[in-house]
């Protein structure tokens, strides 16, 4: 098991990409509230990150709406269920924590869904930024609400942007 990391620059700041045996295990905002401990990153190595770097550049340039990367996030079974639901939210759309909890079979799980979103080790790639409050307001985001707002605006459909202008 070989763990390595690099920093990928982006419009939302540096993203610390962590890989293990060819799969992305983490993508962390620099200076985020709950990031990995330095010892969990492995050695710094620029090799092996060409594809994540390319796909993230395309995403931020507005040329990519989804990611095709080998992923191996660490979490418990419930977190993995939530992260799978996050990956199903279409580009340019949002879902509420309650909607995701309902999909899991119990609307009372909304708070736990929020906690699993907060522990998502692959933000942007596994789009937890697409989850909003029941009233559509932006709520918690490990990378900060400014980053969440930026990502949602980046993904906002042109017709919706135009409607806001008039």
Show which residues are catalytic. Answer: 128
Query: What does the radius of gyration of the chain's CA atoms come to, in whole angstroms?
Result: 16
**Cβ neighbours of residue 58 closer than 8 Å, sequence gap 6 or more:** 64
CA angle, corner 37, sides to 7 and 85, nearest 5? Answer: 75
Distance separating alpha carbons of residues 96 and 109, to the nearest angstrom: 12
């Amino acid at each position: 098991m070989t763990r390595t990391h690099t920093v990928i620059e982006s419009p939302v700041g540096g993203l610390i990409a962590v890989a293990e045996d060819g799969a992305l295990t983490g993508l962390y905002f620099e200076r985020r509230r709950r990031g990995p401990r330095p010892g969990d990153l492995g050695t710094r190595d620029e090799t092996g990150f060409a594809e994540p770097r390319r796909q993230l550049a395309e995403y931020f340039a507005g040329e990519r709406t989804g990611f095709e990367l080998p992923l191996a996030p660490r979490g418990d079974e419930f977190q993995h269920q939530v992260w799978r639901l996050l990956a199903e939210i279409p580009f340019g759309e949002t879902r509420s924590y309650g909607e995701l909890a309902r999909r899991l079979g119990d609307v009372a799980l909304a708070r736990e869904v929020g906690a699993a979103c907060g522990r998502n080790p692959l933000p942007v790639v596994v789009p937890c930024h697409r989850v909003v409050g029941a009233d559509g307001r932006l709520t918690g985001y490990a990378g900060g609400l400014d980053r969440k707002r930026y990502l949602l605006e980046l993904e906002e459909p042109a017709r919706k942007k135009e409607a806001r202008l008039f």
